[in-house]
Amino acid sequence: MKGKKVLVTGGCGYIGSHTLVDLIQNDFEVLSVDNLSNAYAKSLDGVENITGKKVKNINIDLADAAACDQLFKDHPEIEGVIHFAALKAVGESVEKPFWYFKNNLNSLLNVADCCVKYGVNSLIFSSSCSVYGNATDLPVTEDTPFMEAESPYARTKQMGEQMLTDICHRFKDLNVILLRYFNPAGAHSSNEIGEEPIKAGLNLIPVITETAIGIREKTMVYGSDYDTRDGSCIRDYIHVMDLANAHTKAVEYLFDKRQESNCEVYNLGIGEGVSVLEAIQAFESESGKKLNYVLGPRRAGDVVSIYSNYEKAADRLGWQPKFGIKEIMRTAWNWEVKRSKLEKV
């Protein structure tokens, strides 16, 4: 594996930057592509501080077919691609569906097209547990059928998977792994990188930490009357470094030619459901701070309850999550505290 180059699209983003760290620490060469529409280039400084390796970022929009083609033409040394680059906010996708479909689907098509055209035979697609919709049988497995998508964002993930499946039927040399994430959270233990979107944080954990640090006045709990144990939505939170390592394992799996078919799918979660209110309790316990939160109405696009069965990833990829909700909250809070101190300097 040593020295093989992996292209990481969305490499300056939250999951992308943590995955760069894990890839480098497992002896891969890396190249980042990110148009910085919702990420900061300085995240690569954090990657360098952790790994001692300077990572190059190419600032292009992968939804631009010509720019994407030029990227692959200029870098024939690329042997695998991890495709993170996408818009990802559920609520925003409900408000701006055209933007989500144009960006997420066109960028994926362009990347897949270039993989085939330039003989890059290993592609990892960043999918999501949102493809399952409001699944009735929990935990979900990779064989759980798709339910109706609850948002345009979720629809782009369903469509992305289906497009890649069809492409793989035609192009047998292209090997694809579809990784269905549950809810990434937390930060690297060094505090060098963490979740730092340009737009206001929309995911629960950064909303909690931003409230606790004083950036936000309060945390809104969207819905307290769901059919769950405490009335709030239930999610499967996975530490971002566990998620990053799964991508490294997936790349190694493809490079070793261990796949059973040229399009495989894996769930990535910790296999436990945590409600919004339980997550808040875990944060208060780990941080020692009381959170100002209020119970509000349901939010469009939200799934009631979802958590994973990840046995397939454990068996075939050799992947196991190491961290739980306590470590997620502890590292997320430590990162938020550091961010706050830096902003005051």
Q: 145: helix, coil or strand?
A: coil
Q: 17: helix, coil or strand?
A: helix
Name the residue with tokens 């569906």: 97
How far is residue 314's CA from residue 73's CA, in Å, rounded to a whole number? Answer: 36
CB atoms within 10 A of CB 179: 22
In terms of Cβ atoms closer than 10 Å to its own Cβ (0-12, 13-18, 19+), residue 197 is middle
Tokens of 57: 């970022």
Reply yes or no: is the peptide bond before residue 197 cis, omega within 30 of 0: no
Say which residues have a Cβ less than 8 Å from residue 232's Cβ, sequence separation at least 6.
221, 223, 224, 226, 275, 276, 277
Query: Do the beta carbons of residue 126 and residue 178 sit within 8 Å?
Result: no
Nearest to 329 by CA among 206, 235, 148: 206
Tokens of 145: 């059928």
Nearest to 43 by CA among 21, 13, 88, 7: 13
Active-site hit among 132, 153, 253, 266: 153
Tokens of 46: 């954090």
Q: 294: helix, coil or strand?
A: strand
Is there a catalytic annotation at residue 253?
no
> Which positions are annotated as active-site residues?
153
